[in-house]
Amino acid sequence: MTLAEQFKRIQRMAAIVGVLGLALCLIELFVDRAQFFQSYLFAFIFWNGLTVGSLAVYLLHNVVGGNWGAVIRRFVEAGARTLPLTFVLLLPILLFGIPLIYSWAQPEAAHDANIQFKSPYLNIPGFIMRAVVYFLIWGFYTYRLTRLSDAQDRTGDPMIQERMRRLSTFGLLIFVLTATFAFIDWIMSLEPHWYSTIYGAMFLVGQMLETLAFCIILLVLFSKRKPFVQVLNYQHFHDLGNLMLAFTMLWAYTSLSQFLIIWAGNLPEEIPWYIRRFTGGWGYLGWFIGVFHFCVPFVILLMRFVKKNPNLLYKVAIYMFFVRFIDIFWIVEPALRQRRFYVHWMDIVAPIGVGGVWIAFFLWQLSSRPLLPLHDARLGYLPLETEAAELT
């Protein structure tokens, strides 16, 4: 079977699973609409994380370079190009879900002075408008950059790389700001009394970690295939493994910073966020994340032979992807579950449904362009040749 046929087959399978999953979720819409949107928001945040994380990794790589990014460039480009889909996936929340999950949009909020004070920002029209603006800005950068990337494929003009870098430098700045506001809107405002200034960075780092894990999984799956087998060497996996280690540490650093400051302050408007996440059974999940999202992958990824061995790195990446899933569940859901830990069947089915649709859309985007950039100077990296050439 050719690669194109395999693509088609997996794409069709993912689409079927996705549509079936989402159809199954519709049942819950008639049983308990609040529960539906609780789980749907979680599923949306997780898969939109890959879209946003892809754009982040893409912008970052355009600015800093490095041949690790050249081999995953088409993956993150395709990931960022799922923006239209994730916008459509956000629509149900924007149109129907806000009063059901966000307590600041519920009638009781009218009697809460704290929320009233924040109402110039936390209101339904503002929420919808901002979401549209985020997607427009992200879409602008994705569109412009991937168009430049296509032009590079066609013409091989070396100046295009430089133009992409310049566009991304400012873009990265705008992106981090808009992503921070997006996470504040979509997730932090689930608990409208609470605030944390490192939240955006913590969440963005987590989603970039998720994206890196996803890209490593794809890269290993493709590594024996035609365009990749010619350019890949263990150094690419070593670099990506190191990046995954760095982002695991950065995630731990931001998470712990937030925890330490709130724990030390122990103030009534801040500490409830952690009380909700460490009581009623949620604490087990919190400890699980501390140990298995940081300690275990940290020790594993310190070892060089793991990062240089694609098959081992593949397993670690799948593991990281799974722990990211649990971490997002732990961040999003306790806000809505009144200090009682439970997993609803929707919490599993909704991510599968959204994920199936996302994967199908992603594969469509991925297969519509060459799997490796055709004229990226960083792909033909041969340390011996380049460095010897510089000498003479």
The least distance separating other proteins from the CB of residue 385, rounded to whole angstroms, comes to: 10
How far the first Cα of the chain sits from its last, in Å, is: 48
Q: Which is nearer to other proteins, 224 or 304 (CB)?
A: 304
Q: How far apart are CA 203 and CA 190, in angstroms?
A: 15
The least distance separating other proteins from the CB of residue 317, rounded to whole angstroms, comes to: 23
Q: Which is nearer to other proteins, 177 or 260 (CB)?
A: 260
Cα torsion angle, 298, 72, 325, 249, sign: positive
Q: Which is nearer to other proteins, 162 or 385 (CB)?
A: 385
Q: Which is nearer to other proteins, 4 or 267 (CB)?
A: 267
Contact (CB, 8 A) for 78 and 373? no
Q: Which is nearer to other proteins, 120 or 383 (CB)?
A: 383
Contact (CB, 8 A) for 178 and 134? yes
Q: Which is nearer to other proteins, 159 or 264 (CB)?
A: 264
Residues 6 or more apart from 253 whose CB is under 8 A from it? none
Q: How far apart are CA 362 and CA 74, in angstroms?
A: 11
Q: Could you tell me the two tokens for 343?
A: 């997993």
Q: Which is nearer to other proteins, 23 or 388 (CB)?
A: 388
Q: How far apart are CA 225 and CA 232, in angstroms?
A: 10
Q: How far apart are CA 187 and CA 194, in angstroms?
A: 11
The least distance separating other proteins from the CB of residue 304, rounded to whole angstroms, comes to: 8
The least distance separating other proteins from the CB of residue 265, rounded to whole angstroms, comes to: 10
Q: Which is nearer to other proteins, 343 or 388 (CB)?
A: 388
Q: Which is nearer to other proteins, 225 or 304 (CB)?
A: 304
Task: DSSP letter for 333, please.
Answer: G
- Alpha carbon 179 to chain centroid, angstroms: 11
The least distance separating other proteins from the CB of residue 273, rounded to whole angstroms, comes to: 15
Contact (CB, 8 A) for 365 and 5? no
The least distance separating other proteins from the CB of residue 158, rounded to whole angstroms, comes to: 25
Applying CB under 8 A, the residues found at the interface with other proteins are 256, 259-260, 263-264, 266, 304, 383-384, 387-388, 391-392
Q: How far apart are CA 258 and CA 205, in angstroms?
A: 14
Q: How far apart are CA 55 and CA 78, in angstroms?
A: 9
The least distance separating other proteins from the CB of residue 61, rounded to whole angstroms, comes to: 22
| SS3 per residue for 175-234 | HHHHHHHHHHHHCHHHCCCCCCCCHHHHHHHHHHHHHHHHHHHHHHHHCCCHHHHHHCCH
The least distance separating other proteins from the CB of residue 382, rounded to whole angstroms, comes to: 9
Residue 197: CB atoms within 10 Å: 10
Q: Which is nearer to other proteins, 132 or 295 (CB)?
A: 295
The least distance separating other proteins from the CB of residue 264, rounded to whole angstroms, comes to: 7
Contact (CB, 8 A) for 20 and 362? no
The least distance separating other proteins from the CB of residue 310, rounded to whole angstroms, comes to: 18
